[in-house]
């Protein structure tokens, strides 16, 4: 394990964000060996960049910004994760808390769990050894999970 890999497991945090937003134009991703969810690519938002600067002390540039929406029966497997390099920021803009988590893994072991808690943001350093999956959203509930995921260089 190198220093970058060690720091990724020790520096992931969840912070209050206060960010809310609504999006439309979602498309369905349904390659069931990888995941089932809706997504829309959106422009970077300066509120998220300000959040990153406030909590890291560093000005970073957003290089990718996507909103995913999950409804009962949806999931995203780790094999679908592109394992980007940079700081991944997940802003929870869900309408209400739900029993759905993101699991961040390093070398197959979960090191960080992000619950569905609207008004929060997770900041997770990513490198090729860190993958993530979004847990299955049970069909026994009527929850909707909406996450704005941004990658900062």
**Structure confidence by residue, pLDDT tens digits, 30-63:** 887 789 999 999 999 999 999 999 999 999 999 9
Question: How big is the chain, counted in residues?
Answer: 153
Rg, C-alpha atoms of the chain? 15
Q: Are strands 130-134 and 98-106 parallel, antiparallel or unpaired?
A: antiparallel
List the CATH code of the domain at 3-152. Answer: 3.60.130.20
pTM of whole model > 0.85? yes
pLDDT of residue 81: 75
Pick from 42, 82, 47, 44: nearest CA to 63: 44
**Per-domain residue ranges of the chain:** 3-152
């Amino acid at each position: 394990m190198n220093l970058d890999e060690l720091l990724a497991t020790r520096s992931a945090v969840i912070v209050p964000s206060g960010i809310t937003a609504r999006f439309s134009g979602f498309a369905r991703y349904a390659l069931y060996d990888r995941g089932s969810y809706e997504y829309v690519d959106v422009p970077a938002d300066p509120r998220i960049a300000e959040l990153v600067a406030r909590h890291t002390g560093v000005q970073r540039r957003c290089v990718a910004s996507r909103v995913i929406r999950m409804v009962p029966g949806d999931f995203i497997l780790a094999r679908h994760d592109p394992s980007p390099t940079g700081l991944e920021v997940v802003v929870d803009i869900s309408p209400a808390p739900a029993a759905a988590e993101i699991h961040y893994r390093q070398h197959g072991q979960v090191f960080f769990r992000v619950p569905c808690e609207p008004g929060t943001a997770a900041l997770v350093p990513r490198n090729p050894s860190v993958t993530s999956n979004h847990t299955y959203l049970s069909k026994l509930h009527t929850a909707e999970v909406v996450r704005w995921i941004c990658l900062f260089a």
